[in-house]
Amino acid sequence: MLSEFSLIDRFFARRASAPAPRHEDEAAKPLGIGDDCALIAPPAGHQLAISTDMLVEGRHFFPDVDPYALGHKALAVNLSDLAAMGAKPHAFTLALALPRADETWLEAFSDGLFALAERHDCALVGGDTTSGPLNICITVFGDVPNGAALRRDAAQPGDDIYVSGALGDARAGLGAIRGEWPAPEGSDWRRALERPEPRVALGLALRGVAHAALDISDGLAGDLMHILKRSGMRAIVDADAVPCSNAVRALPEAARRQCTLAGGDDYELCFTAPVAARKTLANIATSVNVPLTRIGTIESSGAPAIAWRDAAGAPLSLTLQGFDHFHAD
């Protein structure tokens, strides 16, 4: 039987890389797993961007989910928050409650976790391990130059509104699992649901270009409202311009709108940028290899709200159900 310490050592501590030193000063050397605290500092002239996300069995994932995918997703959703802020991943901590020490499960979970961590040079620097109902809580630490973070409160009147990638595949897949509609044919919805790719390179490229940004974890409509409320703006959005896969496009209209406009778990970025940045953004899309689609405009005045339009510019009245943990559908 694995003890708590041999479990931590074998699946986490031994596999973790050391946090990268960022100071000449020997006294500011970082410290990873093994002491009571980890020690890290951002490079000179930078702020630490910090975010926590928890994944709970039965709420965020099904009990039989592939543990490799779960390890990936637990870190991916956190890296997505750094991306949305324009921060560069540096380190993370992992708090884990496990019903039992299942070695096969832990091996696959840590494989998925470290494969993504290594791709982003993000070092595991500490955590906590306890027995209990399966629950995974990660806190990430990233670096962003002073004042350069992409905040929700920075949208300006006249800004274009963009989203990255395609929206709705994860929600379409979830709907198929729940029997709300047939599985969208030709969509890699399981990958969208289980292996989201955080838009880290895009977030970094948007520094100094985008005004406001966030990642779409709870659905475009609800998440864009966060920007509008924090910035005190309203938005006009072309619902038909919101990018989606051909498989999602083929769903019945109500299902398609639910998936693209209110579906959760997309982890794409939504951001605003001045009209003058259009050419720069086209170049960024090419260089990071992520499609960027212009879906609307920011306007000043009035209460924060989204005015939906169809492709012809006619007003649409939409009833959308966003995701709220305390008012779940």
CB-wise, 126 or 175, nearer to Mg ion?
A: 126
Task: Give the strand pairing for 306-309 and 46-56.
Answer: unpaired
Q: Please tell me the distance from the alpha carbon of residue 318 to that of residue 184, in angstroms, as a whole number.
A: 22
Answer with the entry of Mg ion, ligand ADP, none that 127 interacts with (C-beta below 5 to 8 A by kind). ligand ADP
Q: Which of 74, 124, 209, 214 binds ligand ADP (CB under 6 A)?
A: 124
User: Could you tell me which stretch among 93-101, 126-134, 171-179, 237-245 binds Mg ion (CB under 5 A)?
Assistant: 126-134
- Nearest Cα neighbor of 65 from 169, 219, 174, 199 is 174
- Range 221-245 burial, b when 16+ CB lie within 10 A, else e: bbbbbbbbebbebbbbbbbeebbbb
CB-wise, 136 or 244, nearer to ligand ADP?
A: 136
Question: N- to C-terminal Cα distance for the chain?
Answer: 42
Mark 92-111 with x for binding to ligand ADP (rule: CB under 6 A) and - for no binding. --x-x---------------
To the question of whether residue 245 is assigned a binding role by annotation, the answer is no
CB-wise, 118 or 153, nearer to ligand ADP?
A: 118
Query: Do 236 and 313 form a contact (C-beta atoms < 8 A)?
Result: no
User: Could you tell me which stretch among 62-70, 124-132, 229-237, 245-253 binds Mg ion (CB under 5 A)?
Assistant: 124-132
- Range 112-134 burial, b when 16+ CB lie within 10 A, else e: bbbebbeebebbbbbbebeeeeb
Answer with the entry of ligand ADP, Mg ion, none that 296 interacts with (C-beta below 5 to 8 A by kind). none
To the question of whether residue 81 is assigned a binding role by annotation, the answer is yes
Contact set for ligand ADP, span 24-43 (CB under 6 A): 33-36
CB-wise, 138 or 306, nearer to ligand ADP?
A: 138
Answer with the entry of ligand ADP, Mg ion, none that 112 interacts with (C-beta below 5 to 8 A by kind). none
Does residue 128 belong to the site contacting Mg ion (CB under 5 A)?
yes
SS3 184: coil
In the block, which residue shows the tokens 């300006």?
A: 156
C-beta of 48: minimal distance to ligand ADP in Å? 18
C-beta of 197: minimal distance to ligand ADP in Å? 23
Contact set for Mg ion, span 20-39 (CB under 5 A): none
CB-wise, 1 or 314, nearer to ligand ADP?
A: 1
Dihedral Cα 201, 207, 208, 210, nearest 10 deg: 90
Neighbours of 274 (CB within 10 A): 16
Could you say which DSSP state residue 182 is in?
P
CB-wise, 128 or 185, nearer to Mg ion?
A: 128
Answer with the entry of ligand ADP, Mg ion, none that 36 interacts with (C-beta below 5 to 8 A by kind). ligand ADP
CB-wise, 128 or 180, nearer to Mg ion?
A: 128
To the question of whether residue 64 is assigned a binding role by annotation, the answer is no
To the question of whether residue 238 is assigned a binding role by annotation, the answer is no
Q: Please tell me the distance from the alpha carbon of residue 3 to that of residue 185, in angstroms, as a whole number.
A: 46
Q: Which of 129, 135, 280, 321 binds ligand ADP (CB under 6 A)?
A: 129
Class of residue 195 by CB neighbours under 10 A (exposed 0-12, middle 13-18, buried 19+): middle
Query: Do 224 and 212 form a contact (C-beta atoms < 8 A)?
Result: no
C-beta of 5: minimal distance to Mg ion in Å? 11
Report CA-CA distances (Å) from 249 to 192, 244, 253, 315: 15, 6, 8, 20
Residue 213: beta bridge partners?
Answer: 271
Instruction: Pick out the residues of the known binding site.
Output: 36, 51-53, 60, 81, 127-128, 152, 215, 217-218, 265, 323
Positions touching Mg ion (CB under 5 A) are 128
Instruction: Pick out the residues of the known binding site for substrate.
Output: 60, 265, 323
